[in-house]
Amino acid sequence: MARYYPTEDTYLNIARGLVKDTTSIHKFGAVPEMSNGTTGTIWDVNDTAYPWSAFDTANTVSIATTASNGSTVTTDSGLSVTVVGLDENYQDVSETLTISGSTATGSQLFSRVFRAFAIDGSTNTSQIRMSVNATEVARINIGLAQTLMSVYTIPAGYIGYLTQGIASIESGGDATINMFIRYFGQQSFRVGHSGEVVGTGGPYNYKFTVPIAIPEKSDIDVEATVRSNNSRVTAAFDIVLIKNPIGS
């Protein structure tokens, strides 16, 4: 049987929606200032592991707008924010909420949240903090208009094929980067890929010659352990989602 190798045209056709039951996911995250000796998820909150336990029960999303010190502000009243994730059945879902004063509350149940962004062209002048079950699960930092979250969950009915991972740290920084995967049905995350990154050496970039297959409903969490103080760390990864022919 002849072996098949994807070409650049294959990936272009996936992006164009021309490959049946196949789509692509590009996830990218950044932590603003990770403290020396600290391990945390590469997302918009410093020195913090992503709170997966907040989704033990699917629930609605609530929004609060704050200053960087956490005090309530109303400068983004009227701004609309789209929240993206999975519903209680692990199906893709999104909901747009409009901030009134300093808050907004949705009606859609979420079992995961992995992206949010402002949709009306405005740049947010406050921190937009999104919570599920009274726990912050996403944040849009001031002036970015979108989350930076290196977390993702494979939707029901799909297999995710991890094709590439990249990470960087600011000049003079030094960190270990670990991609953790919690395979559906298991209680614990385990490391699926690991690398080192230093600011003087450029980004860490790994292309998987044979993509890693990640089954439906499995969680991905990219973490950094930083050995330099107040370092900005970034991470990104690419996944091709293919519909599982045998169903969920």
**Could you read off the pLDDT of 38-85 as tens digits, one per residue?**
999 999 999 999 999 999 999 999 999 999 999 999 999 999 999 999
Is the separation of the CB atoms in 119 and 94 below 8 Å?
no
The side-by-side arrangement of strands in the sheet containing 112-118 is 92-98, 80-86, 112-118
> Does residue 96 register a pLDDT over 70?
yes
> Does residue 33 register a pLDDT over 80?
yes
At residue 12, the pLDDT reads 86
> Does residue 5 register a pLDDT over 70?
no
Please compute the mean of the pLDDT values over residues 22-40 and round it to a whole number: 96
> Does residue 246 register a pLDDT over 80?
no
At residue 1, the pLDDT reads 44
The side-by-side arrangement of strands in the sheet containing 127-132 is 103-105, 61-66, 127-132, 135-140
pTM: 0.93
With a CB cutoff of 8 Å and minimum separation 6, the contacts of 227 are 36, 37, 174, 175, 176
The predicted-structure confidence for 113-149, as pLDDT tens digits, reads as follows 999 999 987 799 999 999 999 999 999 999 999 999 9
Please compute the mean of the pLDDT values over residues 102-119 and round it to a whole number: 97
**Domains located in the chain, CATH noted:** 8-50+151-243 (2.60.120.1330), 52-140 (no CATH)
